[in-house]
Chains A and B, each alone.
Chain A
């Protein structure tokens, strides 16, 4: 295999990985923050995707504006759901949380199927994002490159936000030791609502950005649930850098495997996740809880 093919595969995997990252990072923080098993996170990503498609096709919004709209819309919806449905179960058992969020996923999936239909939605990319870009040694899909850049930019922004701002410090503190943070005056409940909304909004952006790469149809949440969860579990709860690298790893692996072993590629992903989680249950980058 020559260099340009190798790079081509790496870029393709990284693009998919970036989508996984953008969707999963919110899940990682909220699960790390509140210990809440949110299996409906993929549904928020899907809703974002549908919002973007809708905004572009029906209201003629340009792609970036549609993404912004998707972010705001889903963040708002998720905030309402968080106050109504999630908050009562913060102290509940894991089983109850699994039930709630699986039920929510089913309901959202069914609602979208009823409202829009079961077909796959297509995102018509704007002119400046389609086609190929000349990288010198290689011509590559512009869109994938943009996704990669966007993912890195987001990673940087989040890292700065977490490491350099006071709110970021509070979130990190609460993830590390919630009770300690509470006793130091951090309003954990409000913090969680904020990060939940932010995380769901990001998932929406991921859903919109990734529609071209991962596809978009009502089965999206259930189909990709395992991937998001694996990325989060392997990356370590509440560890943004962990999620980033885990997402890229899984994205590239999956991409490579799909090309070479179209029938059984996913088996290796699950096997890898199994081995990794057994070796380090707290994730590759996670810290064992105090």
Chain B
């Protein structure tokens, strides 16, 4: 197949792209007692997907992405607690708006810098939000957060089930699918291609006349909105919000998940989240410190040998086997 033809067909859906979704549906029927865990995985995938857009594709290294996750979560929580507004879908929309606006504002300002200064600024922005949430206890519940949130029925039909998470799981899955469609469209568009260009060679993108900063800010804003949706989903599905939705732990955690799976590869978020959280579920509860040691050593190994994560390893194997890499790029 000629290069042009291959490029022209790259955005078409492959048959195996249906697999993750079928598997997710299958999980619903196969593991009815583990849907709470499944929901957390779905939320994490969405969060990691949002990070992929900004880190994997646009190449913006940020340690503060939890700021937008938290913005979304707290928006939904505060609306429910203080405004008595607990309609889930509109809450979600509000969360996306607030998180997106936060992303736009901070992106416009922060993306003037690069390198260490940018990294530090993303960290500071998130830490600021974290401190604000801690201090504004009257609004945010401070350190303890807002436990015991309850939400209305989705579309007036499906209630949130605190025990078995049945509606939550399908709700999260539907949302993930919708957001995935958005990200997939963006990634395959000319805009997405230009993001990859920005990541690969910033100077060159300037030299082809691309409005680099504008593209970066747009990517950052969309990514922030998506992270906000993930945060709102977290708050709605679990029925609580606390400071843990912000902070370096959550930012580093989602970055680890994405890197392990493979950044800049659309499905890296899926692979990374499932692998990481499954392992964590099994190992971390039993041996938390050993788990941390393992994660640390794995990161070191990944940084040295497997920068493209699990998908990268699969790619390398396939290339060794002589076939061209076929995963979406």
Residues of chain A touching chain B, judged by Cβ–Cβ distance below 8 Å, are 31, 35, 37, 85, 88-89, 92, 94-100, 102-111, 113-114, 222, 225-226, 229-230, 232-233, 237, 263-264, 266-267, 270-271, 273-274, 277-278, 281-282
Contact = CB atoms under 8 A, between A and B. Distances in A.
Contacts of A237: 116
A110 B299 CA distance: 14
Contacts of B55: 95
Given A110-B293, A278-B109, A281-B113, A267 B135 contact: yes
B109 A103 contact: no
B117 A281 contact: yes
A281 B109 CA distance: 12
Given A107-B293, A107-B300, A277-B113, A230 B131 contact: no
Interface in B113-130: 113, 115-117, 119-121, 123-125, 127-128
Contact of B120 (A88, A222, A233): A233
Given A270-B124, A271-B128, A95 B299 contact: no
B193 to A, nearest CB: 20
A100 B304 CA distance: 7
Nearest to B294: A110
Contact of A103 (B113, B117, B120, B303): B303
Contacts of A92: 303, 307
A103 B295 contact: yes
Contacts of A274: 121, 124-125, 128
B121 A110 contact: no
Contacts of A278: 109-110, 112-113, 121
**How would you classify the secondary structure of chain B's contact residues: helix, strand, loop or mixed?**
helix
B290 interface: yes
Contacts of A267: 127-128, 131-132, 135
B305 to A, nearest CB: 9
14 contacts: A31-B116, A96-B307, A99-B303, A103-B303, A110-B289, A113-B292, A114-B293, A226-B124, A226-B127, A230-B124, A233-B116, A233-B117, A274-B125, A278-B113
B24 interface: no
A92 B110 CA distance: 23
B204 to A, nearest CB: 16
Interface of B: 55, 61, 63, 109-110, 112-113, 115-117, 119-121, 123-125, 127-128, 131-132, 134-135, 248, 252, 259, 263, 289-290, 292-293, 295-304, 307
Contacts of A105: 296
Contacts of A114: 289-290, 293
Contacts of A103: 295-303
A107 B304 contact: no
A221 B110 CA distance: 26
Most buried by A among B109, B132, B301, B303: B303
Contacts of B63: 98
Counting chain B CB atoms within 10 Å of each CB, the highest count among A105, A270, A281 belongs to A270
A222 B252 CA distance: 11
Given A104-B296, A107-B297, A109-B296, A277 B128 contact: no
Nearest to A237: B116
Nearest to A100: B303
A106 B120 contact: no
A282 B61 CA distance: 18
B116 A273 contact: no
B61 A98 contact: yes
Q: Which 8 residue pairs across A and B have the least CB separation, nearest first? A: A103-B299, A106-B296, A107-B296, A110-B293, A267-B131, A100-B303, A281-B117, A264-B135
